[in-house]
């Protein structure tokens, strides 16, 4: 696997186990739509399609994907209509060309049930969090937070891990995403994975578009937000009672902010320390996810497992019912064993939380 051999910035996720299944051919087509900001570089979208083609994905671009209306990729009506076309066409995956801003404006215009009923696999990033969470809130359907076409497949350089993480997740192959999580709180749980871009999550609080997830695994990332703003957004989730209801809070990357002399040592580490002080929920940092080249593709709304051990975290994305590698440490015959909180697998009755449990 390229991602297990990759170096440098991809190192954090470089020990993701990967278990190749037969590839379902029906998840090899991608329809591109622009629900948020206008695409300023059509060439990036073309390059993305070309590269995805090289990975075995057929692609088609929605006819208003390059539309421009002020900062938006077309008027609200145009962007909403693209969803209608996306669920009627035949390709199984629908990918956002880019984020930006614009989905918040569409939330009351989309036919969520029709979107859920379509069975399409929607994937996008950042502003797309509004779509992921609204779909989950309105219908319970799973969608994906992961790469966008232009930034992740249309840039000068392809990330060493992101394409494989995307392709394997789409094909249902990636079972466990492991990553370095120094100082992670002890956790061994299972719950609905949700969240995404923190600014978007916070902006949906109090609206019908925030899913009411209890016992969930809340994933958060953000870009260009000063730590005090990150903290203020977390405070909203805290005061709204949302944080306390989760089984775990998993932080991705918080990037591209600028500290000021006035901060006097207040930084993202201070925010994480504050967070641990105000909630009893385990906090795990280091998830390869955010406005960074290396990003996981995560199923928003799916039940997943999470465990930490020895500075590593293991996100069990996909339940499997077959043998897998020794490094996972689980008994091979799940059916004959007890339940494992971390990944939903069955284990022997002798398996206690934290014991013999090195994913």
Residues noted as catalytic: 126, 221, 291
Binds its own copies (CB under 8 A): choice among 233, 249, 268, 275: 233
Residues 8-37 that bind its own copies (CB under 8 A): 37
**Neighbour count for residue 311 (Cβ, 10 Å):** 11
Structure tokens at 159: 């990330």
Instruction: From residue 336, give the alpha-carbon distance in Å to each of 88, 136, 235, 326, 348.
Output: 43, 33, 44, 18, 7
Nearer to its own copies, 150 or 177 (CB): 150
**Neighbour count for residue 319 (Cβ, 10 Å):** 15
Q: Is 183 in the site for its own copies (CB under 8 A)?
A: no
Q: Looking at 141-149, 161-169, 184-192, 231-239, which segment touches its own copies (CB under 8 A)? A: 231-239
Q: Least separation, in Å, of the C-beta of 267 and its own copies?
A: 9
DSSP structure string for 39-73: PS-HHHHHHHHHHHHHTT-EEEE-TTTT--BTTBS
Q: Least separation, in Å, of the C-beta of 205 and its own copies?
A: 4
Q: Is 228 in the site for its own copies (CB under 8 A)?
A: yes
DSSP 8-state code for residue 37? B
**Rounded to a whole number, what is the distance in angstroms from the first to the last CA of the chain?**
18
| CA 93-98-101 angle, 5° bins | 120
Binds its own copies (CB under 8 A): choice among 68, 81, 158, 279: 68
Q: Is 77 in the site for its own copies (CB under 8 A)?
A: no
Q: Is 273 in the site for its own copies (CB under 8 A)?
A: no
Binds its own copies (CB under 8 A): choice among 235, 245, 337, 348: 235
Calpha distance 50→280 (Å, rounded):
47
Query: Exposure of 346 by Cβ count < 10 A (0-12 exposed, 13-18 middle, 19+ buried)?
Result: middle
Q: Least separation, in Å, of the C-beta of 269 and its own copies?
A: 11
Q: In 241-302, where do the E strands start and end?
A: 248-255, 283-285, 298-300
Q: Is 265 in the site for its own copies (CB under 8 A)?
A: yes
Q: Looking at 162-170, 208-216, 294-302, 346-354, which segment touches its own copies (CB under 8 A)? A: 208-216
- Kindly list the residues in this chain that would bind its own copies in the complex (CB under 8 A): 37-38, 40, 68, 70-72, 101, 104-105, 107-108, 199, 202-210, 228-229, 231-233, 235-236, 239-240, 242, 262-266, 270, 274
């Amino acid at each position: 696997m390229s991602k297990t051999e990759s170096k440098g910035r991809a190192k954090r996720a470089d020990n993701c186990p990967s278990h190749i299944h037969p590839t379902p051919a029906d998840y090899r087509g991608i329809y591109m739509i622009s629900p948020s900001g206008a695409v300023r570089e059509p060439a990036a979208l073309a390059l993305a399609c070309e590269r995805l083609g090289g990975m075995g994905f057929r692609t088609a671009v929605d006819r208003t994907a390059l539309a421009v209306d002020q900062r938006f990729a077309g008027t609200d009506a145009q962007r909403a209509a693209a969803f209608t076309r996306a669920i009627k066409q035949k390709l199984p995956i629908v990918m956002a060309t880019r984020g930006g801003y614009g989905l918040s404006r569409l939330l009351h215009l989309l036919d969520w049930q029709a979107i859920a009923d379509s069975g399409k696999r929607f994937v996008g990033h950042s502003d797309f969090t509004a779509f992921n969470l609204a779909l989950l809130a309105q219908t319970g359907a799973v969608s994906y937070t992961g790469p966008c076409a232009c930034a992740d497949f249309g840039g000068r350089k392809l990330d060493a891990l992101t394409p494989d993480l995307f392709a394997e997740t789409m094909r249902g192959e990636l079972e466990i995403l492991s990553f370095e999580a120094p100082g992670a709180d002890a956790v061994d749980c299972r719950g609905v994975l949700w969240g995404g871009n923190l600014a978007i999550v916070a902006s949906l609080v109090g609206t019908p578009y925030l899913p009411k997830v209890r016992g969930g695994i809340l994933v958060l990332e953000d870009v260009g937000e000063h730590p005090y703003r990150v903290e203020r957004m977390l405070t909203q989730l805290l005061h709204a009672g949302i944080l306390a209801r989760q089984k775990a809070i998993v932080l991705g990357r918080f990037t591209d902010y600028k500290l000021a002399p006035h901060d006097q040592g207040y930084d993202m580490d201070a925010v994480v320390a504050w967070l641990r002080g105000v909630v009893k929920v385990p906090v795990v940092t280091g998830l390869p996810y955010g406005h960074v080249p290396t990003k996981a593709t995560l199923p928003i709304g799916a039940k997943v497992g999470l465990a930490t051990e020895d500075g590593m975290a293991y996100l069990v994305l996909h339940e499997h019912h077959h043998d897998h590698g020794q490094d996972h440490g689980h008994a091979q015959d799940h059916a004959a064993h007890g339940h494992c909180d971390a990944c939903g697998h069955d284990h022997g009755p002798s398996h206690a939380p934290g014991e013999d449990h090195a994913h």
